[in-house]
Amino acid sequence: MPSDSIHSEIERRLQEDVARIDALGRDGVDVGPGSTPQDAVATLRGSADHLGFASPIDAATHVKRHLDELPAAERTEGTPEHAYHASASRTVREGSWHIDGAGTDGPELVFDRVAADPPLAGVTLRTRVAVDSEGQSHLTGHGWPAVPSVPVHSFTGTAEERFRQAHADLTDRAVPFDRGMLMLWGVRLASDEPVGEKEPRVQIAENAVYRREELLAHFSRAGLLAEQAGGASWYAACLYRSELENLFERFLGAVTFSLVTPESIGELDDELAEQLPHAGSNGFALPGAVPPGVPDGHWWWRAPFEGA
């Protein structure tokens, strides 16, 4: 496609994104100048559905970068733009809150909520809200915490129950692929030994191959996250790498290399090895965020802290 055509297509898509953001009608929340944090929080909770980002372009960027961090059920409420903002509003309404003095433009109000990804998983979502000197407020972020102090994801149920859910998720193409990969990771965290009967284990491998475009997209995203693993993306980079390793090692075996090359896996690991130590030294990675039960071979989870 000629460069002019590419530019026109990008511009067209941006305009569509901005139009969908504008259609949400999120005109902001005025908490009043000089409001105490407690009063500001009360006002924000009561008007959470009016909260938006500082600009439509800022909003569209956050939607594209962080929508997939939401639980599967929360990302399908209407358009992606509506789903993302609705999730942020719910977090402001229901979440615990604290003040963070490290916001880009000064102190921000931070809301945390553990969102259920039923029936057996949960994810911590964090929404950040800036309030200026005149009392005008806007969202500055929503998604996984940038500096988690505990694991972002949690699981309930036995390893066998998680396995059955992972099998169901990967069989149903209406369920996002990353949800099935997350549940398989939950199985691995719960058991060092293979879980499940032979037939459903083979079916998981077959479904992964059948959904190869989604698997390759997952691999591609792991690569992008690895490039950013020296900062706030370290947790996501480790998670995606572990999900892939779990699928390759426990289910696909040699079939893996009909989908991705050993060289591409090596390049992914080289990038992680280079970037992850920076996440530790820069204060983004905290040991408490590493999930309990991580296999010894998943060295990337230890990389930010080695030599510290």
Query: Has residue 2 got a pLDDT over 90?
Result: no
C-alpha to C-alpha distance for 249 and 306, rounded to whole angstroms:
25
C-alpha to C-alpha distance for 98 and 165, rounded to whole angstroms:
35
C-alpha to C-alpha distance for 259 and 146, rounded to whole angstroms:
31
Which amino acid type is present at position 73? A
Q: Give mean pLDDT, residues 114-143.
A: 94
Residue 6 is predicted with a pLDDT of 73
Q: Give mean pLDDT, residues 142-163.
A: 97
- pLDDT, tens digit (0-9, with 9 covering 90-100), for 73-109: 999 889 999 999 999 999 999 999 999 986 666 689 9
- pLDDT, tens digit (0-9, with 9 covering 90-100), for 215-235: 999 999 999 999 999 999 999
pTM: 0.92
Residue 77 is predicted with a pLDDT of 84
Residue 11 is predicted with a pLDDT of 78
Residues constituting the chain: 308
In this predicted structure, which of 80-89, 94-103, 267-276, 282-291 has the lowest mean pLDDT? Answer: 94-103
Q: Give mean pLDDT, residues 278-288.
A: 96
Q: Give mean pLDDT, residues 264-272.
A: 98
Q: Give mean pLDDT, residues 290-300.
A: 97
Q: Which residue has the higher pLDDT, 298 or 76?
A: 298
Domain ranges of the chain: 3-143, 158-301
Torsion angles phi and psi, residue 124, rounded to 5:
-80, 125
Are 127 and 94 spatial neighbours (Cβ–Cβ below 8 Å)? Answer: no
